[in-house]
């Protein structure tokens, strides 16, 4: 749930109560939260209201209405022990991996790894397989790493930087 919040996942549990599974592990006697479908994350399709305190994040639905979500409301918001643990997890993640110093190099490595496939994908003739064309280009792919493009709120790298800084500031620590 911490990563889902950090990623600004609006099509997931915090905002929509969907795209997750719960698994009870009989060996450890622990329930595990398994998020799925991270398509509306990291500034993709997200609005500025995703840059809010985690206590307000689930409340910021576009229509202002949100049902009671026991996993967030009862456990994270209302349970002081779990709430403190959740905040500590957010701090650990932002200091350890969810920050520009770590993720920018990883993003650059992934771009280099998939670059040939990105070029190939944009060159495929899809005229005999009609579908939804979102109008993205190779140039958009590269630009979206550092800047706003079409449906992105801002570039991937600035989004991560802003998110890490916002979270650490809200929790009274530094990345």
**How confident is the model over 62-118, as pLDDT tens digits?**
556 666 677 778 878 888 999 899 999 999 999 999 999 999 999 999 999 999 999
- Confidence (pLDDT) at 175: 61
Element spanning 34, H or E: strand 30-35
- DSSP code of residue 44: B
Determine the Cα–Cα distance for residues 50 and 73; give it in Å rounded to an integer.
18
Could you count the other beta carbons within 10 Å of the beta carbon of residue 172? 8
- % of the chain beyond a pLDDT of 90: 36
User: Residue 94 domain-assigned?
Assistant: yes
Is 44 within 8 Å of 152 (Cβ atoms)? yes
User: Residue 93 domain-assigned?
Assistant: yes
Q: Is the pTM of this model over 0.85?
A: no
User: Residue 123 domain-assigned?
Assistant: yes
User: Residue 112 domain-assigned?
Assistant: yes
Residue 151: phi, psi to the nearest 5?
-85, 0
Q: Which domain holds residue 143?
A: 2-170
User: Residue 175 domain-assigned?
Assistant: no
Pick from 136, 26, 54: nearest CA to 15: 54
> Count of domains in the chain?
1
Determine the Cα–Cα distance for residues 62 and 114; give it in Å rounded to an integer.
34
User: Residue 12 domain-assigned?
Assistant: yes
């Amino acid at each position: 749930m911490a990563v889902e919040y950090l990623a600004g996942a609006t099509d997931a549990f915090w905002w929509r109560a969907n795209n997750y599974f719960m698994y009870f592990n009989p060996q450890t006697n622990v329930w595990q939260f398994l998020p799925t479908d991270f398509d509306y994350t990291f500034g993709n399709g997200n609005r500025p209201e995703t840059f809010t305190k985690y206590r307000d994040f689930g409340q910021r639905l576009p229509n202002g209405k949100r049902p009671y979500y026991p996993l967030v409301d009862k456990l994270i918001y209302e349970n002081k022990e779990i709430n403190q643990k959740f905040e500590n997890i957010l701090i650990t993640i932002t200091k350890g991996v969810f920050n520009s110093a770590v993720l920018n190099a990883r993003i650059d490595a992934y771009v280099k790894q998939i670059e040939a496939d990105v070029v190939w994908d944009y060159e495929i003739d899809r005229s005999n397989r009609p579908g939804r064309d979102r109008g993205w280009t190779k140039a958009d792919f590269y630009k979206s790493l550092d800047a706003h493009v079409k449906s992105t709120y801002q570039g991937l790298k600035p989004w991560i930087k802003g998110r890490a800084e916002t979270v650490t500031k809200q929790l009274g620590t530094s990345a």
